């Protein structure tokens, strides 16, 4: 008997096909009345495959679910305490996306400092014949403060070292396996850094970690790079800092109210804005999809997912 798996949200078609072949698979999006469907059939499911969301109500509606396999490394929209209380294992997709998020981070750093996108817009507007594009800032050799030296943070650090950058980091606790300088105070790290790179998990514990005080410490020559979650940055405070040029610029892959981006940000040339594309390559998304599948397969055959979220 194939285990019954509920799909919450939309997943990549290739993954949905794999799920449909291996399990008794049903998509909640196909149900005209999701609530009525869950009330009638929620108890039949043994697992959930999700695009990143699972709250306590969904878990309560599927009382026999023992595994949730989530697409992505961030589990800020999964109620982990509720899952633990119900004895549900939660799987995510760490590591396989480190390279792509780190690659994008370096791209964003170079873009915001050198003005790749902004100067291209200048060219396309036909302004080049009027004069050269204004001088921008050098990237190599600068000071990078990493907020969140975890799996992705370390991949970013490795790339930054190739640009002869000096590195320091801030976590809640120092990391054992690094010689990189630890800064206990986030504000002091921001004061020191030319680039402040944010790559901590989202959720209540990191909400608005980057606030007006941190931005003022970063200062008029500093750049903020956010590849973590939109909630980590106080977006209105960031908009003010950018408009008033209290920081030099920001490059953002994530926003507080995605896919909505504040109009004030859209109007600023010192902001590089991309639509949450950190892991969005064909290769990495395929690897993430495979891990979602493998976490479920592993749980149903061994009782443990491959990558357990914490
Ligand atoms: O604080 P620690 O010692 O647990 O270090 C973790 C750090 N971190 C924090 N740093 C400062 N203040 C906090 N409140 C705080 N909470 C966590 O963030 C750790 O070094 C790092 C997270 O690393 P990993 O757990 O290895 O996550 P990974 O795979 O690098 O992904 C980070 C996030 C995801 O959760 C997604 O939201 C996003 O990147 O794509």
Which atom of ligand 1 lies closest to the CA of 201? Answer: 35
Residue 144 and residue 160 in contact, taking contact as beta carbons nearer than 8 Å: yes
CA 35 to chain centre: 30
Sequence ranges of the domains in the chain:
4-95+283-302, 98-273
Statement: 98-273 belongs to CATH 3.40.50.720: yes
Ligand 1 centre distance from Cα of residue 241 (Å) = 25
Whole-number pLDDT of residue 227: 99
Q: Hey, which of 108, 148, 184 would you mutate to test ligand 1's pocket, going by the most ligand atoms within 8 Å of its Cβ?
A: 148
Lining residues, ligand 1, CB within 6 Å: 73-74, 94, 101, 148-153, 170-173, 199-202, 205-206, 228-229, 278
Give the contacts of 152 (CB within 8 A, at least 6 positions apart): 73, 97, 98, 101, 102, 199, 227
Kindly report whether the global pTM for this prediction surpasses the value 0.95: yes
Contact 219, 191 (CB under 8 A): yes
Distance from Cα 51 to the centre of ligand 1, integer Å = 20
Within the chain, strands assigned E span 4-8, 24-27, 47-50, 67-70, 89-91, 143-147, 166-170, 181-182, 195-198, 223-226, 249-252, 271-273
Please give the angle made by the CA atoms of 160, 161 and 166, to the nearest 5 degrees. 90
- DSSP letter (8 states) at residue 76: T
Domain 4-95+283-302 classification at class level: alpha beta
User: Token pair of 300, please?
Assistant: 């149903």
Any idea what the Cα angle at residue 29 is, between residues 25 and 33, rounded to 5°? 110
* Other beta carbons less than 10 A from residue 277's beta carbon: 14
Q: Exposure of 177 by Cβ count < 10 A (0-12 exposed, 13-18 middle, 19+ buried)?
A: exposed
Looking at residue 205, what is its pLDDT? Answer: 97
Examine domains 4-95+283-302 and 98-273 and report if their fold is the same. Answer: yes
In tens digits, the chain (310 residues) has pLDDT values of: 999 999 999 999 999 999 999 999 999 999 999 999 999 999 999 999 999 999 999 999 999 999 999 999 999 999 999 999 999 999 999 999 999 999 999 999 999 999 999 999 999 999 999 999 999 999 999 999 999 999 999 999 999 999 999 999 999 999 999 999 999 999 999 999 999 999 999 999 999 999 999 999 999 999 999 999 999 999 999 999 999 999 999 999 999 999 999 999 999 999 999 999 999 999 999 999 999 999 999 999 999 999 999 9
Q: What confidence score (pLDDT) does residue 144 get?
A: 99
Query: What is the 153 CA–ligand 1 centroid distance (Å)?
Result: 8
The two three-digit tokens of residue 142, written as one number: 């600068």
Q: Which of 25, 229, 285, 291 is catalytic?
A: 229
Nearest-atom index, ligand 1, CA of 171: 10
State residue 69's pLDDT score: 99
Q: In this structure, are residues 246 and 215 in contact, taking their beta carbons and an 8 Å threshold? A: yes
161 a catalytic residue:
no
According to the model, what pLDDT value does residue 101 have?
A: 99
CA-nearest residue, atom 10 of ligand 1: 171
- Report the C-alpha dihedral over residues 92, 95, 101, 105, rounded to 10 degrees: 130
* Per-residue confidence (pLDDT) for residue 304, from 0 to 100: 98
């Amino acid at each position: 008997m194939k285990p019954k798996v509920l799909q919450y949200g939309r997943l990549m078609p290739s993954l949905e096909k794999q799920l449909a072949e291996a399990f008794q698979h049903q998509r909640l999006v196909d149900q005209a009345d999701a609530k009525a469907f869950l009330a009638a059939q929620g108890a039949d499911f043994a697992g959930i495959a999700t695009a990143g969301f699972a709250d306590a109500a969904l878990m309560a509606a599927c009382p026999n679910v023992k595994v949730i396999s989530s697409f992505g490394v961030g589990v800020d929209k999964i109620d982990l305490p509720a899952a633990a209380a119900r004895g549900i294992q939660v799987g995510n997709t760490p590591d396989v996306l480190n390279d792509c998020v780190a690659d994008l981070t370096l791209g964003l750093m170079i873009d915001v400092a050198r003005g790749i996108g902004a100067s291209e817009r200048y060219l396309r507007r036909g302004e080049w014949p009027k004069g050269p594009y204004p001088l921008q800032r050098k990237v190599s050799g600068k000071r990078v403060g990493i907020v969140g030296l975890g799996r992705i943070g370390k991949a970013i650090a490795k790339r930054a070292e190739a640009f002869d950058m000096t590195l320091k980091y801030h976590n809640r606790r120092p990391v054992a396996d690094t010689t990189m300088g630890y800064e206990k105070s986030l504000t002091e790290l921001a004061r020191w850094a030319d680039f402040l790179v944010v790559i901590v998990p989202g959720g209540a514990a990191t909400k608005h970690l980057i606030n007006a005080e941190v931005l003022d410490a970063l200062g008029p020559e500093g750049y903020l790079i956010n590849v973590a979650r939109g909630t980590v940055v106080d977006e209105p405070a960031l908009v003010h800092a950018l408009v008033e040029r209290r920081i030099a610029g920001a490059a953002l892959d994530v926003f507080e109210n995605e896919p909505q981006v504040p109009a004030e940000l859209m109007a600023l040339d010192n902001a590089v804005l991309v639509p949450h594309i950190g892991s969005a390559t064909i290769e990495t998304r395929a690897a993430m999809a495979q891990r979602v599948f493998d976490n479920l397969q592993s749980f149903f055959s061994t009782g443990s997912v491959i990558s357990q979220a914490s």
